[in-house]
Amino acid sequence: MVILLAALCGLILIGTPIAVALGMIAVGTMWYTTGPDLLFIFIQRLYAGTTSFPLLAIPFFIVAGNLMNTGGITVRIFDAAQLFVGRIRGGLAHVNVLASVLFAGMSGSAVADAAGLGIIEVKAMRKAGYTGRLAATVTVVSSTIGPIMPPSIPLVIYGSLANVSIGALFLAGILPGAMMAIALMIVIAIVAHRRNLPVMAERPHGAEARRIFLNAAPAMLTPILIIGGILGGLATPTEAAVLATAYALILGLFVYRELRLKDLPDILWLSARQTVQVMFIIAAAAPFGWVLIQQQIPNAVIEQLFNLTSEPWAILLLINIVLLVLGMFIEGVAIIIIAFPILLPVMMEIGVDPVHFGIIMVLNLMIGLVTPPVGMCLFAVSEVSRVRVGEIVREMWPYVLALLAVLMLVTFVPQTVLFLPELFGYGAGR
């Protein structure tokens, strides 16, 4: 186990693409343990790893997010958020968080939030008198809400691989996502008081407020379309992703009329590239997972962890630390694929619900997206805001601590995750 993981991390740190590194480790281990005769299993597992029906949701949620960023939906979401919290001191920072919550119900991607909404948010905050560093920082940390609130591309991947209900996972993310937003807004309120941050000059009233709200209302119906369709039994998560894509296309072309037909080839090409990047990792991770199981590594991990401690809380704390450290160096989707066959049996052994563990894992990895040295959202916002990564990192730590506090609460109070799935009839582990 140590040799495999050390070799994998070594390949990634020297710049080998994650999918290639996973494949190299799988082939090398198969060759070493069984000889070349069984290498045909590698090809079989590559194919099998990408044929799960729920994985079809991934390209559609990616397309939907890109359509929203191009079709004027993100601007209207930001304007609507100002109606609710714009007049509070530090209001635009609060708007930044609330807009991320609203956008989270549409795209399911932290990077789409950071890159799409980020441009609008940073520009508006700078214009209102906020420093570029603070504007970029709030944009980075608020983007972590996206893959926790439903829908969520990482939760689709986890649910598909772990054979866990994606509908249950989507419901399980609602309360933790709300808790993240509240925690970030508490930090913003403290910072606003200490630094005397600006207040929005004039909140829209009357006809203007109604116009902004009604303009954004069609976009804000997207989460209802997705979650309502799944809970009502009208659509699977994959079908809901297709509906979200079609709805975003209709809004952009015919309602807001900011999306043009000539924009579609570029959007589809970008979405195809992003989908291939994710699916290549998923495909390469399938034979890697087979190697882990064939070498009985999950059993060895369980045995060693229980030799260290038999206390479930200590094991959960240790796993959180491991995931946080991994998230600083490796892309989140890759960690889900690498770690779940090792860690899920441990969770089952200590009585942690797979749905609960899915939220714990994804929340850990979202914090990893904003921490150096390999935080994708950190670099995306740095690029669109033209603020150096080092400046964002120095400003960011109070917000990261707030997210860590939510992580601990979610980890050790299971009902924060399981309440809504159980309320809607999803039993343990379903």
Residues 133 and 392 sit within 8 Å (Cβ to Cβ): yes
- Check residue 204 and give its pLDDT: 64
Rounded Cα distance between 208 and 418, Å, is: 40
Least confident of 119-133, 220-234, 265-279, 372-386: 372-386
- The string of DSSP letters for 150-191 reads SS-HHHHHHHHHHT--HHHHHHHTHHHHHHHHHHHHHHHHHH
Whole-model pTM: value is: 0.79
In a domain? residue 430: no
Q: Which 3 state secondary structure label does DSSP give 353?
A: coil
Residues 316 and 141 sit within 8 Å (Cβ to Cβ): no
- Check residue 412 and give its pLDDT: 94
- Mean of pLDDT values over 39-53: 79
In a domain? residue 202: yes
Model confidence band, residue 112 (pLDDT cutoffs 50, 70, 90): low
Q: State yes or no: pLDDT of 147 exceeds 70.
A: yes
Cis, peptide link before residue 373, omega less than 30° from 0: yes
Structure tokens at 386: 């033209």
In a domain? residue 177: yes
Rounded Cα distance between 252 and 263, Å, is: 11
- Mean of pLDDT values over 225-229: 80
Residues 282 and 51 sit within 8 Å (Cβ to Cβ): no
Model confidence band, residue 401 (pLDDT cutoffs 50, 70, 90): very high
Q: What is the pLDDT of residues 58-98, one digit of tens each?
A: 888 888 878 877 777 777 877 777 777 666 777 788 888 88
- Check residue 427 and give its pLDDT: 60
Q: What is the pLDDT of residues 247-295, one digit of tens each?
A: 889 988 888 888 888 889 998 998 888 788 778 877 887 788 778 777 7
- At residue 12, φ and ψ (nearest 5 deg) are -65, -40
Residues 393 and 400 sit within 8 Å (Cβ to Cβ): no
In a domain? residue 312: yes
Percentage above 90 pLDDT, the chain: 15
For residues 214 and 116, which has the higher predicted lDDT (pLDDT)? 214
CA atoms within 13 A on the CB side of 399: 30
* The total number of structural domains that make up the chain: 1
Model confidence band, residue 430 (pLDDT cutoffs 50, 70, 90): very low
Q: State yes or no: pLDDT of 39 exceeds 90.
A: no
Q: What is the pLDDT of residues 166-209, one digit of tens each?
A: 889 989 999 999 999 999 999 999 998 888 877 766 666 677 77
The dihedral built from the CA positions of residue 109, 112, 115 and 120, taken in this order, carries a sign that is negative
Rounded Cα distance between 345 and 368, Å, is: 23
- Residue 193 is part of which domain span? 2-423
CB neighbourhood size of 44 (10 A): 12
In a domain? residue 186: yes
Q: How far is CA 241 from CA 71, 194, 223, 225, 367, in A?
A: 17, 43, 11, 10, 25
Q: What is the pLDDT of residues 114-139, one digit of tens each?
A: 666 677 778 778 877 888 888 889 88
In a domain? residue 429: no
- Check residue 25 and give its pLDDT: 86
- Mean of pLDDT values over 353-366: 92
The candidate with the shortest Cα–Cα distance to 366, out of 411, 412, 413, 328, is: 328
Q: What is the DSSP letter of 426?
A: -
